[in-house]
Amino acid sequence: MLETYISKLVDNIPLSKKNQREKIDIILDGGLFNGSYLIGALYFLREMEKVGHIEVDKLSGCSIGSLACVLYTADLLDLTTEIYNMAIDQFKKTTHLEVVDDILSKIRKKLPRDICERMNGRVFITYYDLKKGKKVIKSKYKNKKEIMDVVKRSCFVPYLIDGSFMHKERYIDGIFPYILPKEEGKRILYLDLLGYDKITHIISVKNEKTNFHRVLSGLLDIHLFYIKEKPTLMCSYVDEWSLVRQTYHFILKKLFEIFVFYNIYFYFLIHKYILTREVLEHLNSNSFVQIVVDFLKKANEKFLRYFCM
């Protein structure tokens, strides 16, 4: 049924858009459960590409956007309902997302044999390497296992995934995606998940039984973008950004990213050079420290259950 609606929406775009096979790059924002909005938009773009209205060249993403990049490239968007339900079920039970390993394993089994050829030089995934103290932009992949590991690095929000601060004691979420450079003859489409209408839904799934309304919202947003040929809250062309949007993306978001990264990096250094194993063992044996830690854990869980579930 969804395919029928998507086809009708694509048929509704202006004739000028149908008659040109526009070449585009896509940048997919991060935003945890807001990733369902991306899926709706990607369904629309996949249909646009299928009927020859556009040609998608490169994709860039971080966090849930990196997973969406892989699913689009592998033509596995239809897996999203199943993996979303897996994530939501565990999040509501435990307030964590250890199930991410099962999700990535399920996706890995369905990846086509030529997935590395499809992704190399075309799919850009960002994450932070705390050991090197820098942001990494990955676009070359050796095999399916490496692809899934890179996605996990990009999606690894400290303490949220499995209670650990880092993946493999060094990697964390990329925070914001790499903005691809402009190339002649191509447009760059940015899908933003941090607009004022969506930012509060990043980890809030309160009263939501499925993600279908988010998928539909993303689908209708990008349809509106194409038929009105104007930016929406989620969709915009990078080369058409107003001064306000440029300030937001290139200055404000960058300052926020620097602030977040250096706070995390500072904690990483403290954990590495001050909170040694001996110090941690001593702190863990201290009853007052244990009371404080338990209180913070319970307060965090109560907050998530009350406001987000």
This prediction has a pTM of: 0.93
Tokens of 33: 């459960």
Tokens of 101: 């390993």
Tell me which amino acid residue 95 is: T
Q: How far is residue 130 from each of residues 54, 105, 182, 274, 305, measured CA to CA in Å?
A: 38, 25, 29, 16, 30
Q: Is 167 helix (H, G, I), strand (E, B) or coil?
A: strand
Contact partners, residue 9, CB within 8 Å, separation at least 6: 44, 219, 220, 223
Residue 305 pLDDT class (50, 70, 90 cuts) = confident
Report yes or no: 30 and 174 within 8 Å, Cβ to Cβ: yes
Q: What is the pLDDT of residues 125-176, one digit of tens each?
A: 999 999 999 999 999 999 999 999 999 999 999 999 988 999 999 999 999 9
Contact partners, residue 56, CB within 8 Å, separation at least 6: 24, 25, 26, 45, 49, 72
Q: How far apart are CA 155 and CA 151, in angstroms?
A: 6
Q: What is the pLDDT of residues 38-76, one digit of tens each?
A: 999 999 999 999 999 999 999 999 999 999 999 999 999
- Would you state the pLDDT for residue 274? 82
- Would you state the pLDDT for residue 211? 92
- Would you state the pLDDT for residue 285? 79
Q: How far apart are CA 62 and CA 50, in angstroms?
A: 25
Query: Burial, 294: exposed, middle or buried (Cβ in 10 Å; 0-12, 13-18, 19+)?
Result: exposed
β-bridge partners, 237: 189
Q: What is the pLDDT of residues 294-303, one digit of tens each?
A: 777 788 778 7
- Would you state the pLDDT for residue 30? 96
